[in-house]
């Protein structure tokens, strides 16, 4: 399907690529990281205080519930949108190996007030989790959208007909307009399919003027200013702040908290919320609490108020009024 598409700055007719900075790592790079790694130890288990289950909110309000890692339920335009859901114990194709949860999902799947739309940013196992997708399909059967080349993965979970989008392409789902936007990252689920599917984020806009940006995974790059220019009234930006150490290895594909603050400023978002941290041990070398501490320091350096870019407790919901454009 992707092979028939016209060539572009991110598609060469065979694989997708990043126009600003390459994220390609060799086997030697991977071996060097694993050989030289000095990961901070994580607790075996973190018990977070329980949070109230999210209630349905209507048009005119935005409610963002942080489940953990990059999983958010966002209510916008009166609909429930689920981003990159993973409730599994491991971010892995294997049940007995791979990055393991240090904390439970902030809300059980059955506590959600519904899922009217499913959005999957890319095909990495910590973002596209087949057991969770099967559970979502069984309970709600929502329509889905994703990047080019990823629908085949969703189909393995029984989610057929997922809408595939290229960067800057949009689709309508009832009162919502969804635009797939660029990110600087890569894709793979096996050693043989690297960059055969596209990665990106989403901007979701409602008829009441509300707008939310979900970044997926990305390194720092000019895409954030480009997104901010095209969508100048973002109510909430959901930005990754973790999985950034060691910098020599992670820099091009994962922002650190300082770069996430720069992304917040480049986007011009009304508020930003941090994600992609503190959940799966083994994805990165930094300590479990390092991203939030570094985010606070970066806000201070850039003069960004705490309420403008924060993190939510796991399972908590931020409910705000939509600006109406």
At 22-61, the pLDDT tens digits run: 988 877 877 787 777 788 999 999 999 999 999 999 999 9
Q: Is the pLDDT of residue 99 over 70?
A: yes
pLDDT of 29: 76
pLDDT digits (tens, 9 = 90+) for 155-193: 999 999 999 999 999 999 999 999 999 999 999 999 899
Q: Is the pLDDT of residue 152 over 50?
A: yes
Give the tokens for residue 83.
Answer: 């981003």
5: pLDDT confidence band, cut at 50, 70 and 90?
A: confident
Q: Rounded CA gap, 76 and 93, in Å?
A: 32
Spatial neighbors of 197 by CB under 8 A, at least 6 apart, are: 2, 16, 122, 123, 147, 148, 149, 150, 153, 187
Q: Is the pTM of this model over 0.75?
A: yes
pLDDT higher for 4 or 299? 299
pLDDT of 201: 98
pLDDT of 285: 94
pLDDT digits (tens, 9 = 90+) for 236-290: 999 999 999 999 999 999 999 999 999 999 999 999 999 999 999 999 999 999 9
With a pLDDT cut of 90, the percent of the chain lying above it is: 91
With a pLDDT cut of 70, the percent of the chain lying above it is: 98
Give the tokens for residue 130.
Answer: 């087949």
pLDDT of 154: 98
Average pLDDT, the chain: 95
Q: Rounded CA gap, 206 and 322, in Å?
A: 10
pLDDT of 325: 54
Give the tokens for residue 250.
Answer: 């992670």
Q: Is the pLDDT of residue 121 over 70?
A: yes
Spatial neighbors of 3 by CB under 8 A, at least 6 apart, are: 13, 14
pLDDT of 324: 62
Spatial neighbors of 99 by CB under 8 A, at least 6 apart, are: 90, 91, 92, 126, 280, 281, 282, 283
Q: Are 118 and 136 in contact (CB under 8 A)?
A: yes
pLDDT of 1: 46
pLDDT of 28: 81
pLDDT of 26: 75
């Amino acid at each position: 399907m992707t092979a028939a598409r016209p060539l572009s700055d991110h598609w060469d007719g065979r694989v997708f690529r990043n126009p600003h900075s390459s994220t390609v790592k060799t086997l030697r790079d991977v071996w060097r990281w694993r050989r030289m790694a000095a990961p901070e130890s994580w607790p075996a288990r973190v018990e977070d205080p329980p949070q109230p289950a999210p209630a349905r909110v209507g048009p005119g309000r935005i409610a963002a519930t942080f489940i953990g890692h990059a999983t958010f339920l966002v209510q916008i335009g009166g609909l429930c949108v689920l981003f990159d859901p993973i409730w599994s114990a491991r971010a892995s194709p294997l049940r007995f190996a791979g990055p393991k949860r240090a904390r439970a999902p902030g809300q059980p799947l059955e506590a959600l007030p519904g899922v009217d739309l499913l959005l999957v940013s890319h095909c990495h196992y910590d973002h596209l989790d087949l057991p969770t997708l099967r559970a979502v399909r069984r309970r709600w059967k929502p329509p889905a959208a994703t990047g080019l080349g990823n629908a085949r993965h969703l189909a393995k979970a029984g989610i057929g007909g997922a809408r595939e989008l290229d960067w800057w392409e949009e689709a309508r789902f009832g009162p919502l307009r969804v635009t797939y936007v660029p990110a600087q990252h890569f894709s793979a689920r096996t050693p043989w399919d690297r960059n055969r599917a596209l990665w990106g984020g989403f901007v979701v806009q409602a008829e009441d003027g509300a707008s939310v940006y979900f970044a997926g995974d990305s390194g720092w790059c000019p895409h954030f200013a480009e997104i901010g220019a095209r969508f100048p009234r973002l109510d909430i930006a959901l930005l990754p702040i973790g999985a950034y150490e060691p910098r020599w290895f992670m820099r091009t594909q994962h922002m650190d908290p300082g770069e996430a603050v720069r992304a917040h400023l480049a986007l011009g978002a009304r508020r930003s919320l941090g994600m992609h941290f503190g959940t799966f041990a083994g994805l990165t070398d930094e300590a479990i609490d390092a991203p939030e501490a570094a985010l606070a320091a970066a806000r201070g350096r850039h003069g960004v108020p705490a309420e403008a870019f924060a993190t939510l407790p796991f399972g908590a919901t931020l409910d705000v009024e939509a600006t109406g454009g």
